[in-house]
A = this chain, B = another copy of it.
Amino acid sequence: MKKLINDPLNVADELLDGLVDAYNGDCKSVGKRSIVKTDIPDGKVALLVGGGSGHEPIYHGLVGRNLADGAACGDIFAAPPPNIVFEATEAVDRGKGVLYLYGNYAGDVLNFDLGAELSDDEDIDVRTVLIWDDVCSAPPTEKDKRRGIAGLVPVVKLVGAASQTAATLDELEAAAKKAVLMTRSVGVSMSPGSIPATGKPTFELDEALIGLGMGIHGEPGVAEIPMTTADELTEKMLELIFEDFEKDEEVDALAEGDEILLFVNSLGATTMMELLIALRKAKAILTERGIKIYDVIVGPLVTCQEMSGISFSFTKMDDELKGYWDMPCQSNCYSKMEGRNGG
């Protein structure tokens, strides 16, 4: 594995510098390792995201116009320490409080909670909404144990838009909870990424197998299945999402006429070619069920270095979420014009 880096122990800092450069003035670096927008207006309810590095363009690439106001960035695959969370919180707060919105991992929860305690000491109002879209990581009755994976992209896009108009932290929290509740993902992995500091693969997986439901760090899912075709795998994966909407008592099953946002993600080395081939099958399955695609996201947005694998995320849309979706946005991770494809 040839990696284009300098000091392997310094990659998280250097990539953040590069990210700030990529924003060319729209964002700045704050404290030890946070990135925040330069133009957060007074009185705005702030949105803070964050997590470990190494998954670029998320998490810190989700800061941007009509998206998150800032991100607290950890080292490779490590949650940001509490002091970094606090520094980012202070930098984005405009007196209306700060919503923490991040993926449900023990390390992130521990550190963001500690950061929230530090922020509370400074009288900053903080609220937390966890993203737990990975339906393979726990049953619907234990959603608090689920991991956050690719679904965070549509969720942050929607909540970032909501944060532009939210009058209160309560209002933003409610929008975030809805976006999270409506978003479900299933992922697979075919081969590992590598840890920049050691050059070692993040996990081992038999050459003939696919990890169905595997997490973005190689956490096991529901089964290891033989390598198969794009169409068969897509069918299996979508089935798990449909099932989850059915089984979960907190949401309605997906039914004819429902509209979803469809996100097809690559974990890194899986090509756009493969994503599109799988997307084609997903569209056919959805069409057969009479489910409409409101809009599509496709690309390597939630990665784990050069890991190969793919995930599908559905977000069930209603008028409120559509309104958020239709706002344009711009960031390192995801950008769009006003409106939607096909609309």
Contacts and interface: CB of A to CB of B under 8 A. Distances in A.
A271 B304 CA distance: 9
Interface in A190-236: 190-191, 196, 207, 210, 227, 229-231, 233
Contact of A277 (B15, B278, B336, B340): B15
Given A271-B268, A271-B306, A22 B229 contact: no
B306 A23 contact: no
A84 interface: no
A83 interface: no
A4 B293 contact: no
A140 to B, nearest CB: 27
Q: Max chain B CB contacts within 10 Å: which of A65, A269, A330?
A: A269
Contacts of A293: 21, 24
A61 interface: yes
B272 A11 contact: no
A111 interface: no
A276 interface: yes
A18 to B, nearest CB: 3
A191 B271 contact: no
Given A230-B4, A271-B303, A342-B25, A18 B295 contact: no
Interface stretch (A49-57, A117-125, A142-150, A162-170): A49-57
Interface size band for A: 35 or more
B296 A21 contact: yes
Would you call the interface of chain A mostly helix, strand, loop, or mixed? mixed
Contacts of A227: 2
A22 B340 CA distance: 11
A310 B4 contact: yes
A183 interface: no
A274 interface: yes
Contacts of A299: 57
A160 interface: no
A6 interface: yes
B274 A5 contact: yes
Interface in A212-266: 227, 229-231, 233
Interface of A: 2-6, 11, 14-19, 21-26, 53-54, 56-57, 61, 65, 190-191, 196, 207, 210, 227, 229-231, 233, 268-280, 283, 293, 295-296, 298-300, 303, 305-306, 308, 310, 328-330, 332, 335-338, 340-343
23 contacts: A2-B308, A4-B310, A5-B274, A5-B277, A6-B231, A11-B277, A18-B276, A18-B283, A21-B293, A22-B276, A24-B295, A24-B341, A24-B343, A56-B271, A65-B337, A269-B306, A271-B303, A272-B300, A272-B303, A330-B337, A335-B336, A335-B337, A337-B337
